[in-house]
Amino acid sequence: MADKEKIKHALGKLPWVSEAWWAVRGKKKPWSSHFKLEGLRGVLTGAVTDVRQLAMQNGHPKKVLVFASLHYWIEQAGLIALALAGQGHKVALGYLPYADWDKPINDFDLRRQAVYAKEALKPAEEVMKVACLTDAAVKRGKLLGLPEETADIIEHVSRYDVMYTRQIETVDPEDPLYLLRMERNAKAALALYRWFSQESPDVVIVPNGTILEMGVAYAMARVMGIHAVTFEFADQRERIWLAQDSEIMTHDTTALWSALGNRPLPERAREKLVELFSARKKAITWGEFARQWQASPQRGSNVVREALGLDERPLALLATNVLGDSLTLGRQKISASMAEWVVKTIDWFRKRPDLQLVARIHPGELITHGTSMVEVIEEQFGGLPENIHVIKPGEKVNTYDLVDLADFGLVFTTTVGLEMAMAGLPVMVAGKTHYANKGFTLDPQDWEEYQDMLEKVASDPVGARLSKAQVEQAWMYAYLFFFEFSLPFPWHLLWLADDFKARPMRYVLNHQGQEKYAKTFGYLVGEPLNWQERGLARLNEQAEVTNAD
């Protein structure tokens, strides 16, 4: 540790030093830390005024803790907490003032950031409780008196943190990042346990709920018998994903599918899906979906067939995920990891020259910095036989051209598997994904069953194609997932400043805003999410539009 860092670490242990620094210098100089709440700070006074003026009477208010770590999540959580206070709930905003989850910070700078956050969030204290949890977290007591599951929670979340950060699937227990995350998560567990024990909230609301301190908060709440709601944002504006008493990133659609599956898809809903997937195939954005799913537009299957040197042998398309992506954490089912599944599958095809395999490495690797599946494959095999082709992330090959060429699909959790099923292809799912076990995929439970399925489908891919009814169910599921599983919400994390400008607190709390968003805020505090009631109304709307046309 450098001398300056040693001094800051020592100063951070002394009471009121950071507060004194803030009083003497902090308020008088531009804030230079990476930890910034200026976006929220700039609108907070007006938002608090709106909450006070438009506050609703609530006959059954919930005692709510909205918890977040990292400055951008704190800003998002702060607005959610204010909106819930405006709806008459007894709300607390709890936070840990970190700017980075993967970099150490000395005690002085952490306390300095805590003082800054307290000052920035002070106006909110008029309408809700605001609590920085570092004061409890910095006391490094043993985990005595905490639930016995606490140690497992800390270790589990810390491993996920390293996997997510380094984009890997195995963790070295001596990795400095793992040790850092263990320390941070232990502090968070202690602080949250104390808060939960003293305040006894009815519900805890946290972003993500799988990784970092937010993952600890979710797990500690559940262990202590407190309802927890987790939320995340996808690529769709004015929409939010949320899950009640489960981790949102598992995308548990069981209740949604049970309520609305096995129904005919209204024609207008089908048209919306066609428009969405047409845009995805053309590598353009559509509607409120902001993601461009392909780097290159389609060139046509015949062009790609010739470019790759493919012939008439049965062709399997294997689509990977990004290593360490939050949609792959804990999703292994028939293998120890996604990488192991890919390697063992390629090895199986090496022994089958009568078949062809195209492994499409996820284009998302272009914007990540971790280990590429290309590296994993090359390290394992070196060269590959002529019947196996690896499409690298940056290659100008559109995945949908490959789908058009494929006879069957192999996936871990990627939604490409759902899209292949929509095209009628038999798809083997090797990981725990939300669209598995819905009646239109092949879902092996172990490696032996997976190999048996490979043999059976490869021997007669035409006979293995999905029935018309199965294809219809895949389309119905896709509609429900892309258009119904997310819920109306005024402020998206990625566009928070613009969204709040377009839909300020006074709009969200007035009659028009409540018509659009009140149910979603109700779900956030644990009001039952009845998918049948909600979804049937939406499906009927689509049917009415179709009939009117």
- Give a yes or no: residue 165 inside a domain: yes
Are residues 182 and 300 both part of a single domain? no
Bigger pLDDT: 102 vs 541: 102
CATH classification at residue 192:
3.40.50
* Distances, alpha carbon 429 to alpha carbons 333, 402, 466, in Å: 9, 18, 15
CA distance 454 to 471: 20
Give residue-wise pLDDT tens across range 342-369: 999 999 999 999 999 999 999 888 777 7
- Give a yes or no: residue 504 inside a domain: no
Is the pLDDT score of 129 beyond 90?
yes
Are residues 321 and 238 both part of a single domain? no
Residue 540: pLDDT band with limits 50, 70, 90: confident
Q: What percent of the chain is modeled with pLDDT above 70?
A: 88
Bigger pLDDT: 5 vs 459: 459
Residue 140: pLDDT band with limits 50, 70, 90: very low
Residue 325: pLDDT band with limits 50, 70, 90: confident
Are residues 245 and 300 both part of a single domain? no
Q: Half-sphere exposure of residue 455, counting CA atoms within 13 Å on the CB side?
A: 7
- Give a yes or no: residue 520 inside a domain: no
Are residues 10 and 130 both part of a single domain? yes
* Weakest-pLDDT range from 3-17, 154-168, 408-422, 486-500: 3-17
Closest by Cα among 475, 481, 484 to 267: 475
- Give a yes or no: residue 130 inside a domain: yes
pLDDT at 26: 60
Is the pLDDT score of 327 beyond 70?
yes
Average pLDDT for 60-77: 97
Is the pLDDT score of 20 beyond 80?
no
- Give a yes or no: residue 378 inside a domain: yes
Residue 191: pLDDT band with limits 50, 70, 90: very high
Give residue-wise pLDDT tens across range 78-110: 999 999 999 999 999 999 999 999 999 988 889
pLDDT at 137: 43
Yes or no: say if 210 and 228 are a contact pair by the CB < 8 Å rule. Answer: no
Is the pLDDT score of 290 beyond 70?
no
Look at strands 129-132 and 90-96 and give their pairing.
Answer: parallel
Are residues 464 and 353 both part of a single domain? yes
CA distance 76 to 496: 7
Give residue-wise pLDDT tens across range 478-509: 999 999 999 999 999 999 999 999 999 999 99
pLDDT at 192: 96
Are residues 132 and 239 both part of a single domain? yes
CA distance 374 to 342: 11
Is the pLDDT score of 218 beyond 70?
yes
* Distances, alpha carbon 422 to alpha carbons 220, 416, 419, 476, in Å: 39, 10, 5, 9
Are residues 336 and 200 both part of a single domain? no
pLDDT at 369: 76
CATH classification at residue 312:
3.40.50.2000
pLDDT at 451: 97
Mean predicted lDDT score pLDDT of the chain: 89
- Give a yes or no: residue 265 inside a domain: no
Residue 360 backbone dihedrals phi, psi, to 5 degrees: -95, 110
Residue 216: pLDDT band with limits 50, 70, 90: very high
* Weakest-pLDDT range from 168-182, 274-288, 317-331: 274-288
pLDDT at 463: 97
Closest by Cα among 403, 225, 235, 213 to 304: 403
Is the pLDDT score of 241 beyond 80?
yes
CA distance 186 to 183: 5
pLDDT at 16: 56
HEC assignment per residue over 69-95: ECHHHHHHHHHHHHHHHHCCCEEEEEE
Are residues 228 and 348 both part of a single domain? no
End-to-end, the C-alpha distance of the chain in Å comes to 70
Are residues 223 and 299 both part of a single domain? no
Is the pLDDT score of 378 beyond 60?
yes
Average pLDDT for 195-218: 97
- At residue 516, the 3 state secondary structure works out as helix
CA distance 18 to 460: 71
Number of separate domains in the chain = 2
Are residues 241 and 345 both part of a single domain? no
Closest by Cα among 315, 275, 281 to 297: 281
Task: Provide the domain limits for residue 421.
Answer: 294-484
Is the pLDDT score of 143 beyond 70?
no
CA distance 267 to 327: 31
245 φ/ψ sector (left φ>0, alpha ψ -120 to 50, else beta): left
- Give a yes or no: residue 8 inside a domain: yes
Q: What percent of the chain is modeled with pLDDT above 90?
A: 71
Q: What is the DSSP track for 366-434?
A: GG--S--HHHHHHHHHSS--TTEEEE-TTSS--HHHHHHH-SEEEESS-THHHHHHHTT--EEE-B--T
Residues 6+ apart with CB under 8 A from 285: 279, 291, 292
Residue 141: pLDDT band with limits 50, 70, 90: very low
- Give a yes or no: residue 43 inside a domain: yes
